[in-house]
Amino acid sequence: MKKENWLIIFTLVLLLTLPAFARDAFQLHLLIVSGIYVVLAISLNLIFLTGQLSIAHGAMMGIGAYTSALMSLKLNWPVFICMPTGALVSGLVGFIIGLLVLRITGIYFAIVTFAFGEIVVLAFLTWESLFGGPNGILNIPSPTFKFPGLFEVSFSSKLAYYYLILLTVFIAIFIFRRFNLSYLGRACRAIAKSERLAKSIGINAMYYKLLAFSVGNLFAGLAGALYAHYLHYIGPGYFSFHESVHIIVAVVIGGVGTLLGPILGAIFLTYLPEFLRAARDYEMMIYAFILILVLKFMPEGLYGGLNSVKNTVRLFFSRGEEQGGPVRS
């Protein structure tokens, strides 16, 4: 027990002082982008918990991004109001779509989310008067925190934004962890494993699927809004099918269903292209090849892979008895 607490404290301190280790602005940029992807991956993982695959996560990110950006530009509201609003809009859209569509299961649900995502992106592309068409939206302001009469903090520097993202990541982790540990997570897992069985003992499958879907999309929207106010520019291409797939890959590579998995996957996928940059023309091929390797040899994802390494090491150092093995009748 105590060992775990020390580990958490150590990680916390590390994360808080991480910017000091960043060599340049670009490294800090990577940290920020990883953070945003961590939020996206964790929130998609939440939807996975109920056994549903959503290919609309990129689009939901976009809804949050565009809503927040437009509100800050056209309505002149403070960004710290716009961002949660963007998140809420995404959550609401998720809720409405979910009502219509969550009774469909499996691959067909995934397909519907894909189609929905495509429609959203097409709307961003063609509704030029509102969304700016292929050129997107420019000059999105940074978040500023006005303390009435006293001071004003602007989050325009990368350093400040890092801490903002870190805070969001902590919130996402907290919510997901609470979900997982409480009966909410249990009900979701029951639904994912056997919806029929879950219903037979009184679990309202629709309620939990809707809950997970809405909350997951809400965080996607939040991530999108944070992205928008960081880059100061967004375009429809940022929220396409490719984006949704990127997030799915992050979760699967990292390890579905766990807390650490999506975090690992998101960080891995953000930094991998940077390491491969030197390979230039071969970059994408090696990227794809690495994905195939990971899936082939670590079917539980990076988290599963690391776990087995940990277990092998542990077994190596102590010849303990197996716990909970097969029962001999």
Partner 1 sequence: MNILLQVGINGLTIGLLYVLMALGLTLIFGVMDIINFAHGEFYMLGAFFTYIATVKFQMSFFTSLAIAIAVVAILAILIERIVFRPLLHSPLNVLIVSLAVSIFLQHLSQLSFGPDNYKIPSPALGVFVLGGLYFPKERLVAAGVSILLLFGLYLLIFHTKFGRAMRAVAQDPESAALQGVKISRIYMYSFSIGCGLAAAAGGLIGPIFSANAFMGTLAVVKAFVVIILAGLGSIRGAIIGGLALGVVESFSSTFLGTQYCDMIGFALIILVLIVKPSGLFGTAIEKA
Partner 2 sequence: MVLLEAKEISKSFGGINAVVNFSFEVKKNEILGLIGPNGAGKTTIFNLLTGFAAVDKGQVWFSGKDITGLKPHIIAAEGLVRTFQSTEYLYFGCSVLENVLMSKHTFFRTSTLSNLIGLSKAKEEERTCRNEALELLDFMGLREFESTLADNLPHGLQRILGVAIGLAAKPKLLLLDEPMTGMNPGEKRSMTRLVDKIRNQGITIVMIEHDMRSVMEICDRLVVINFGHKICEGRPEEVKENPDVIEAYLGKKQWSLCGLKTSLPGISRQR
Residues of this chain that interact with partner 2 (CB under 8 A) are 175, 178-179, 182-184, 186-187, 189-190, 193-194, 196-205, 211, 323-327, 329
107 binds, among partner 1, partner 2, none (CB under 5 to 8 A by kind): partner 1
| Least distance to partner 1, CB of residue 95, Å | 16
Burial of 176 (0-12, 13-18, 19+ CB in 10 A): buried
Distance of alpha carbon 121 from alpha carbon 63, whole angstroms: 9
Contact between 41 and 254 (Cβ < 8 Å): yes
| Least distance to partner 2, CB of residue 211, Å | 7
DSSP state of 258: S
Mention every residue, 6+ apart, whose C-beta is less than 8 A from residue 113. Answer: 53, 54, 55, 56, 97, 101
253 binds, among partner 2, partner 1, none (CB under 5 to 8 A by kind): partner 1
Distance of alpha carbon 70 from alpha carbon 208, whole angstroms: 32
Which residue reads 């809400």 in tokens? Answer: 218
| Least distance to partner 1, CB of residue 192, Å | 11
Distance of alpha carbon 70 from alpha carbon 129, whole angstroms: 12
Contact between 315 and 268 (Cβ < 8 Å): no
| Least distance to partner 2, CB of residue 44, Å | 18
Residues contributing to the site for partner 1 (CB under 8 A): 53, 100-101, 103-105, 107-108, 111-112, 115-116, 118-119, 122-123, 126, 195-196, 199, 205, 245, 248-249, 252-253, 256, 281-282, 284-285, 287-289, 291-292, 295-296, 299
Nearer to partner 1, 145 or 287 (CB): 287
Contact between 119 and 253 (Cβ < 8 Å): no
| Least distance to partner 2, CB of residue 205, Å | 7
Nearer to partner 1, 117 or 143 (CB): 117
182 binds, among partner 1, partner 2, none (CB under 5 to 8 A by kind): partner 2
53 binds, among partner 1, partner 2, none (CB under 5 to 8 A by kind): partner 1
Nearer to partner 1, 108 or 183 (CB): 108
Nearer to partner 2, 119 or 197 (CB): 197
Nearer to partner 2, 320 or 324 (CB): 324
The partner residues of 147 in beta bridges, in order of sequence, read: none
Token reading at 173:
């982790």
| Least distance to partner 1, CB of residue 139, Å | 28
Contact between 185 and 179 (Cβ < 8 Å): yes
CA 150 to mean position of chain CA atoms: 36
